[in-house]
Amino acid sequence: MQRTGYADFWELYRRNNLPQETKNYVPVFLAVTLMAKNPKQYGLDDITPDPPLVTETVKTNYAVDLRLVSDITGAPVQEIEGLNPSLMRMSTPPDDEYDLRLPAGMAAVFEKDIAEIPVEKRRYWRFHQVQEGDTLASLARTWHVSESELAYVNQLKPAADLNDVDSVIIPQAPTSEGVLRATFYKARKGDSLVTIADRFGVTVEQLRRWNQIYRGTAVTAGRKMYVSEPAHISGLHYGRKRRGSSGSKKTSTKTAEHHPTKKRAQVAHK
């Protein structure tokens, strides 16, 4: 609009001032609207719709990283993103109320566990479900923190074992805004460079450079893509496979009903 002086979509379309996929957005929306209003005319009257997606909602007025939400609920971070598509920066707004959508049955769990983490730390601290074989030393190595700090934050003795601990808080240092954004994104069916760029607030050219894509906008479903500058995340733990995720170790569950002998580590609000 700034470049051409036109604010009319169809004029921009006619003048070929839009990327091909962007040119298709409005026609596709209009076509879907017409089909939805006239299902019989388009042979859609005998389709059984998918059941409604069942979710729960918690209201936040603080910034919480979606990776922390994923840690607490046990849902993949991609699922949390999918339930909250308006969050473009991997975090809820810091000063405004936001209805954070969670998988069904997770609202009470989230409210309970997020209360263990100081509000100002929810943007970068993490939450870890203790697995068989975990120790303070192994977690410290995995998360790049000191054993003493890990013990202090969770009010554990420095030499304590984790046999009776169900979950621990992982203190992490504040990072730059570039790192707080999603680092990787697993492309879904129907994604393109244009839709991914729109989703993460970056440009198509940045995605091309970061992912070595030299022509076209098509992206293969399942491809793992950088959505922020790769150099910014060197040495950090984000995206690292957690212990036990291969299925070789049993992951502890969240509820006391399943682990009556385990307890939560007490968090020091450092």
Say how far apart CA 157 and CA 186 lie, in whole Å.
Answer: 39
Let me know if 218 is exposed, middle or buried by CB neighbors in 10 A (0-12, 13-18, 19+): exposed
pLDDT at position 160 over 90: no
Say how far apart CA 240 and CA 221 lie, in whole Å.
Answer: 21
Higher pLDDT, 221 or 242: 221
Radius of gyration of the chain measured on its C-alpha atoms: 22
Say how far apart CA 132 and CA 194 lie, in whole Å.
Answer: 43
pLDDT at position 7 over 80: yes
pLDDT tier for residue 234 given thresholds of 50, 70 and 90: very low
Q: How far apart are the first and last CA of the chain?
A: 50
pLDDT tier for residue 235 given thresholds of 50, 70 and 90: very low
Kindly report, residue by residue over 132-157, the tens digit of the pLDDT.
Answer: 999 999 999 998 888 988 998 888 88
> Can you give the pLDDT at residue 236?
28
Task: State the average pLDDT over residues 191-201.
Answer: 82
> Can you give the pLDDT at residue 21?
79
Contacts of 112-118 with C-beta under 8 Å, sequence gap 24+, read 113/72, 113/167, 113/254, 114/64, 114/68, 114/72, 116/169, 116/264, 116/267, 117/68, 117/169, 117/267, 118/269, 118/270
Q: Give the mean pLDDT of the chain.
A: 80
pLDDT tier for residue 239 given thresholds of 50, 70 and 90: very low
pLDDT at position 256 over 60: no
> Can you give the pLDDT at residue 202?
78
Domains and CATH numbers, the chain: 1-42 (no CATH), 184-227 (3.10.350.10)
> Can you give the pLDDT at residue 84?
94
Say how far apart CA 3 and CA 54 lie, in whole Å.
Answer: 44
pTM (2 d.p.): 0.56
